A and B are shown apart, each in its own frame.
Chain A
C-alpha cells in the first residue's frame, strides 16, 4: 500500500511539473521574415521617391567622373609604357573578328552557290527527263504516222494491182499537187 501511495504521489508531482513554453526559435524566425518583407516593401516605396532618384543620379555622376579620370590616367600611363593597353589587344581582336567575318561571308556564299547549283542540276535532270519523255512521245507518234502511211499506201496498190505501194503513193502525191481538187473537196 505504501508503495502504491508513493507511486501515485510521484505521478501527481510529475503532472504538476509539466509546463508549456513557446518555441522562441520559431517565433524569432517568423518575426524576422515578416519584418524583412515589411522592410522590403518600405524600401521599394522609398526608392521610387524623387529624393532617392536625385541622390542616385548624383552618386552616378560622381562615379562616372571618377571612372573617367581613372581611365584617362591609365590610358596615358600605358601609352608611354612598354606593355600593350587594353585598346591594343582589342584592336588585334577586332582584326581577327573582321577576318572571321570574311570567312563567314565566303562560307555563306559558298553554301548559297552550292545550293543553287544543286537546284539547277536537279532542274536540268528534270528537264532532261521531260525531253526524253517528249522524244518518246514523238517517236510513238511517228510510228503511228508511219503505220497509217503504210496502210494508206497498201490501199492504192491493192486497187491498181501491180504497182508498188510506194510508186503509187508518189504518183498519187504528184497528181494531187498538179491536178484540180476533186469534186468532194478532198485533195
Chain B
C-alpha cells in the first residue's frame, strides 16, 4: 500500500497519535458538513464586462480589455444550452476569458440566460437566426470589424457550425471548437441510451414542453453516477482532511449544480436529429428550411478535444475537419475531460497557450 503511515513510540505516544488522528477526522467531517450546508457560494464570472446587446433573456457581453486591444479581430464565445457559461470565466486566475482579455483580445460572449416557459418553442432555427446571427452583427458593428472569430464550447460549437454554414456576413475568419460534438454516430454511453428504442424524444418534449433543468442535470450526471453523486463529495472531504485548497472545488461545484431549462423544440431536434439521426453529418439538418452544409465553411478551424471526455468523445469533435472546406485546419487532443479544456491547472498551462498562439497568428 502506497504511503503506509506507521505510528511508532511508546504506548502512551501511540495512544496520543491515534487520538489526534481521530480528532482530525472528526474536524474534517465537521468542516465538510459546514461547507456543504452553510458556506456561501463563491463569486464567479468576475472579469469586468459590459452588456452591449440583449434579447429576451440573452445577453451579449463585451469584456473590458485592461490595456490596448492588440488584435483587431474580435472573438465571440457561443456557449451551450446546458449549464451556464461562467465555466469560461470561473474566478480570477482560473478564467479562459480573463486570459484572452489580458493577452489583448477583444472578447465577447453570448449568454443565453435562463429559459422559461415562454421560451419552450425556441428551436435551433430561432437560436441561430435570431440570437447568434444578431449577436455576430452587433460584434461586427461595435468593434467595427468586418471579420470575427467564433469560439464554440460543447453544443455551442454545434450551433456555431449551423450559423457559419448559413451566414456569410460578417465574415467568419476563424472558428475554434472546444469539445464540440459534430458527429453523433458514436457518442459512447450517450448513444447507447439515446438510441435505445424506448427513448422517445418526442414524448419527452411533448410532456415537458420546457425540459426541466433537473431532468437535464440527472441525465448528464448519470453518465458517471458514482463519481458525480458520491465522488464529488468524498473528494471534498479528502481535500479538507489533507489541507489542500478547496476554492476550486467550491467554484466548480457551484457551476455543476447551476443548470438551466432546455427549450422543448430544441431538445427534440438535439436528441432526434443529432443523436439519433446524425443529420448534421449527413447534410440533412435544416435551419429555417435551409440545409446546413458544412462544406460552405471556409474559415480557419481549430478543434480541441479531451481524451478523457465522456460527454463529448474525441471522435465526435473531428467531424468538422473533413466536412468543411477550410484549408487551415488544426486538431489537438489533450489528456483531460470535458471541463479540463477550459478549467484547471493543466488547461491554464497547456491549453490556454495553444489557444492564444493560434488566435494571435490569425487575428
Say yes or no: B234 contacts A33, CB within 8 Å: yes
A54 within 8 A of B: yes
B220, chain A: closest CB distance, angstroms: 13
The interface residues of chain A lying within 8 Å CB-to-CB of B231 are 36, 40
Total count of chain B residues near the partner, CB < 8 A: 49
Is there a chain B Cβ closer than 8 Å to A101's Cβ? yes
Q: In the complex the two chains form, is A60's CB within 8 Å of B198's CB? A: yes
A30 to B5, CA, bound (A): 11
Q: Among B2, B18, B116, B199, point to the contact of A90 (Cβ < 8 A).
A: B116
Q: Which of B24, B55, B189, B241 contacts A48 (CB 8 A)?
A: B189
Residues of B within 8 A of A94 (CB): 118
B21 part of interface (Cβ distance < 8 Å): yes
Interface residues of B in 6-29 (CB under 8 A from A): 6-11, 14, 17-18, 21-22, 24-25
Closest 8 CB pairs of A and B: A57-B198, A40-B226, A23-B5, A93-B118, A90-B117, A90-B118, A25-B21, A64-B207
CB of B239 to closest CB in A, whole Å: 12
Given contacts A22-B4, A111-B141, contact A17 B10 (CB under 8 A): yes
Q: Does chain A have a CB within 8 A of B249?
A: no
- Please determine whether A71 and B207 come into contact, CB atoms closer than 8 angstroms: yes
- Please list 18 pairs of residues, one from A and one from B, whose beta carbons are closer than 8 Å in the complex, sorted by A's number: A19-B11, A20-B8, A21-B14, A22-B7, A23-B21, A27-B1, A30-B1, A39-B226, A40-B226, A48-B189, A48-B192, A58-B198, A61-B198, A86-B117, A93-B117, A97-B118, A100-B55, A111-B141
Please determine whether B3 and A26 come into contact, CB atoms closer than 8 angstroms. Answer: yes
Chain A residue at minimum C-beta to C-beta distance from B192: A48
Q: Across the interface, do B196 and A97 meet the contact criterion of CB distance under 8 Å?
A: no
Say yes or no for A47: interface residue by CB 8 A criterion.
yes
Contact of B56 among A17, A40, A100 (CB under 8 A): A100
Within 8 A of A (CB), among B197-233: 197-199, 203-204, 207-208, 222, 224-227, 230-231
In-complex Cβ contact of B6 among A20, A48, A54, A89 (8 A) = A20
Say whether B167 faces chain A, with CB atoms less than 8 Å apart: no
Partner among B3, B116, B118, B141 whose Cβ is within 8 Å of the Cβ of A30: B3
The B164-194 residues at the A interface (CB cut-off 8 A) are 189, 192-193
Please tell me if A177 contacts chain B, counting CB pairs below 8 Å: no
Pick the residue among B4, B189, B198, B208 that contacts A47 (CB under 8 A): B189
Contact with B along A87-107 (1 / 0, CB 8 A): 101110110010011001000
Inter-chain CA distance A68–B141, complex, in Å, is 46
- Bound-state CA distance A47–B196 (Å) is 13
Q: Considering the chains assembled together, what is the distance between the CA atoms of A101 and B119 in angstroms?
A: 14
Q: Give Cα A172–Cα B17 distance, bound, in whole angstroms.
A: 131
CB <8 Å contact, B198 and A21: no
- A21 in contact with B226 given A47-B189, A56-B193, A100-B55 (CB within 8 Å): no
User: A87 CB to closest chain B CB, in angstroms?
Assistant: 7
A14 touches B10 (CB 8 A): yes
B238→A29 contact, CB < 8 A: yes
Contact between chains at A104 and B55 (CB < 8 Å):
yes
Complexed CA–CA distance, A108 and B116 (Å): 26
A97 touches B7 (CB 8 A): no
CA distance A61 to B192 in the complex (A): 17
Shortest C-beta distance, A163 to chain B (Å), equals: 69
Instruction: Say how far A170's CB is from chain B's closest CB, in angstroms.
Output: 62
Answer yes or no: B134 CB below 8 A from chain A CBs: yes
Chain B residues with CB under 8 Å of A111's CB are 141
What residues of A have a CB within 8 angstroms of the CB of B284 in the complex? none
CB-based nearest B residue for A95: B118
CA distance A36 to B231 in the complex (A): 8
Contact between B8 and A19 (Cβ–Cβ < 8 Å)?
yes
A44 at the interface (CB under 8 A from B): yes
Whether B10 and A89, one on each chain, are in contact in the complex, defined by CB atoms closer than 8 angstroms, is: no
Report the bound CA distance from A86 to B58 in whole Å: 21
Complex interface: chain A residues within 8 A of B120 (CB): 90
Chain A residues with CB below 8 A from B199, complex form: 57, 60
Taking A48-B192, A53-B198, A101-B55 as given, write out 12 further A-B residue pairs in contact, using a Cβ cutoff of 8 Å, ordered by the A residue number: A17-B10, A20-B6, A22-B4, A22-B6, A23-B17, A25-B18, A26-B5, A36-B231, A47-B189, A47-B222, A57-B196, A67-B208
- Interface positions, chain A 1-27, Cβ under 8 Å from B, are 14, 17-27
Contact of A53 with B3 at beta-carbon distance under 8 Å, contacts A18-B8, A68-B207 already known: no
Distance in Å: Cβ of A60 to nearest Cβ of chain B: 7
Q: In the assembled complex, which residues on chain B have CB atoms less than 8 Å from the CB atom of A25?
A: 18, 21-22, 24-25
* Interface: B298 (CB within 8 A): no
Proximity string of chain B (251-270) to chain A, C-beta cutoff 8 Å, 1 when within and 0 when not = 00000000000000000000
CA A93 – CA B114 in complex, angstroms? 14
* Per-position 1/0 for A50-87, Cβ under 8 A of B: 00011011101100100110010000000000000011
